[in-house]
Amino acid sequence: MKFRCALFALGLLMSSSVFAGFEEGLNAYEQNDYQKALQEWRPLAEQGDAASQYKLGYMYAYGRGVARDAAKAVKWYIKAAEQGNAEAQFNLGSWFDLGLGGVKDAAKAVHWYTKAAEQGDTLTQLYLASMYADGRGVAKDASKAVQWYTKAAEQGEADAQLKLGVMYSDGRGVLQNDVTAVRFISQAAKKNSASALYRLAWMYEHERGVEHDLVLAHVYYNLASAAGSEDGPLARTRISEQLSPAQLREAQAVAEAWKVGTPLPTKSRTGLARAQPEKVAAAKPSKPMKECQPPAGKLLRYSDNCQNGDCVRTFENGCSKRFQAPYCFDPMQNRWTWKPEGC
């Protein structure tokens, strides 16, 4: 019994010693004394302390106090990740996802992202969802993308809330539901996400999950523009041309009054009424649209003319049809955009 107590006491002493050494290294690191941090963390890492192994890997990855060394960074990241360190698992996933150090392996990225995501790491859940949505390193699976977007969205991750809302709006991996789409997109918009504000404006403009309200459409295109949306100013101008002076004044006042993080406006005083079409005397019935049926064995060439997702496709035989383009994330431009050819 005395022997067991002695072992327990020794274990507590060693644990407190490791903690003290790690904290000293952390204090040194925060003061940019990287050599002191290395002196504290290296012995602990070699003894198997996961947090110190992660920190050592990070220092090799970014050249803090040592020369950059991708191989040593991965070595220490793996040691920490195999012990369940979520930060190391995320960094390893990013390392293989982005090809840092010249090693790009999407399947390994998914492996390590999954480890960290299962521990509840929000950013990793977002990245893993994108891997499933795009089919990178894993078979494309919209339902699993929705699953991981949901987990991240429930923890308040704005990008996940937006992307989950778009999935509901487009009916990808989940039953299509515009009301649910608006709920998630609004959560991201409340955090001043430019893409979410733009999408919310589009929902009000096109009566998707909300009442048709051009005043609120203008409000959110205006807020999206202020938040950095490149497409916002043009859309705002388009809506301005459809508003009366009173409606425009209300829209500008509502936008100026809103503060980030406060409840979003959901109704306007003057924007619910639709513009009445002008009466045309003796209007002739329009000609039926020419059917777009290509001859057997031949595909018709076509051109698309789109404005904020509202597209008209014109075929070489003269026929045309109107359709709604899906709203997709473009990794090359690192932003959401309308894609008539699909996501």
Q: Is the predicted pLDDT of residue 106 greater than 70, yes or no?
A: yes
Q: Is the predicted pLDDT of residue 12 greater than 60, yes or no?
A: no
3-state secondary structure of 213: coil
List own/partner pairs for 223-229 with CB under 8 A and 24 or more apart. 223/189, 223/192, 223/197, 223/255, 223/258, 224/194, 224/195, 224/197, 224/198, 226/255, 227/192, 227/193, 227/194, 227/197, 228/194, 229/194, 229/195, 229/197, 229/198
Q: Which residues are paired to 242 by β-bridges?
A: none
Q: Give residue-wise pLDDT tens across range 312-323.
A: 777 777 777 776
Q: Give residue-wise pLDDT tens across range 41-95.
A: 899 989 999 999 999 999 999 999 999 999 999 999 999 999 999 999 999 999 9
Per 3-state DSSP, the chain is made up of helix, strand and coil in percentages (nearest 5) of: 55, 5, 35
Q: Is the predicted pLDDT of residue 331 greater than 70, yes or no?
A: no
Lowest mean pLDDT among 125-134, 190-199, 278-287, 309-318: 278-287
Higher-scoring residue by pLDDT: 274, 301: 301
The pLDDT score that the predictor gives to residue 190 is 97
The pLDDT score that the predictor gives to residue 310 is 66
The pLDDT score that the predictor gives to residue 340 is 74
The pLDDT score that the predictor gives to residue 277 is 43
The pLDDT score that the predictor gives to residue 315 is 72
3-state secondary structure of 242: coil
Q: Which residues contact 321 (CB under 8 A, 6 or more apart)?
A: 289, 292, 312, 313
Q: Is the predicted pLDDT of residue 303 greater than 60, yes or no?
A: yes
- Residue whose token pair is 């043009």: 234
Confidence of residue 155 (pLDDT cuts 50, 70, 90): very high
Confidence of residue 117 (pLDDT cuts 50, 70, 90): very high
Confidence of residue 282 (pLDDT cuts 50, 70, 90): very low
d(Cα 60, Cα 326) in Å, to the nearest integer? 43
**Would you state the structure tokens that stand for residue 88, as one six-digit string?**
């190391």
Q: What are the Cα distances from residue 2, in Å, to 8, 23, 190?
A: 10, 32, 61
Confidence of residue 295 (pLDDT cuts 50, 70, 90): low
The pLDDT score that the predictor gives to residue 304 is 76
Length of the chain: 343
Work out the average pLDDT over 240-266. 95
Say what the alpha-carbon torsion angle 183, 188, 190, 192 is, to the nearest 10 degrees.
-150
d(Cα 56, Cα 66) in Å, to the nearest integer? 10
Q: What is the CB-side half-sphere exposure of residue 65 using CA atoms within 13 A?
A: 21
The mean of the pLDDT values for the chain is 84
Diameter over CA atoms, the chain: 106
Q: Which residues contact 343 (CB under 8 A, 6 or more apart)?
A: 170, 172, 326, 328, 329
Is residue 59 within 8 Å of 42, Cβ to Cβ?
no
Confidence of residue 11 (pLDDT cuts 50, 70, 90): very low
d(Cα 29, Cα 47) in Å, to the nearest integer? 20
**Would you state the structure tokens that stand for residue 22, as one six-digit string?**
């790690």
Lowest mean pLDDT among 20-24, 32-36, 103-107, 337-341: 337-341
Q: Is the predicted pLDDT of residue 279 greater than 60, yes or no?
A: no
CA Rg, the chain, in Å?
27
d(Cα 195, Cα 229) in Å, to the nearest integer? 7
